[in-house]
A = this chain, B = another copy of it.
């Protein structure tokens, strides 16, 4: 399979994603949140680009919804939860519909609606994603959400890990950027020694959210594959 990579939400190109298996990665933290919420029993996650859309959609039957997300890495006024995956515990999200809006991740997901299959990936479910990609047997584009339209080291190494897993289990044809991501992972299999230099990592750290960082860097702890279809993310 051919494997390509897009470095940020600003760089998404319809030509590149159309008809492909696309994996959107925003490991710090949107796609880690989505994966965690679904693993803890949320019925589905509905991503919105704006706070206004999220509030409008949930205003009737508000109690059925959990509103989560961030702007500038902090919780949005009137929302239930922030963009911390550790907040999305079973007691809060089980059987609920989670409404999400974040700065980078939801934008990346919405930008790839022309994909054939649109999967939601993070370090915490990387192996499950790689397995599903192989089952789908289609060309793949990893879409890194990035940070504010910029390349982000955390998403890049996360894609690199998945590409490494694919290479171990299938014949792969890598573009230069996909090769480079894999190469970065191979030289930093612990992840943290690379990510510790990322700007976004340090912003989250400066907000006192080290626990989030520790959680999001864990490999393969969840065996689920969230996918986006008709505006909703389910497993």
| A65 touches B (CB below 8 Å) | no
Minimum CB–CB distance from A111 to chain B (whole Å) comes to 16
Q: How many residues of A contact B (CB 8 A)?
A: 21
Query: Nearest B residue to A195 by beta-carbon distance?
Result: B176
A160-185 residues at the B interface, CB under 8 angstroms: 175-177, 179-180, 183-184
Copies in the complex: 2
| A199 touches B (CB below 8 Å) | yes
Query: Nearest B residue to A178 by beta-carbon distance?
Result: B151
The verdict on A180 contacting B184 (CB below 8 Å), with A7-B7, A11-B11 known, is yes
Chain A residues close to B by CB (< 8 Å): 7, 11, 147, 150-153, 156, 175-177, 179-180, 183-184, 187, 194, 197-200
Can you pick out 8 interface pairs between chain A and chain B where the beta carbons lie within 8 Å of each other?
A150-B177, A151-B176, A151-B180, A152-B176, A153-B180, A176-B199, A183-B184, A187-B187
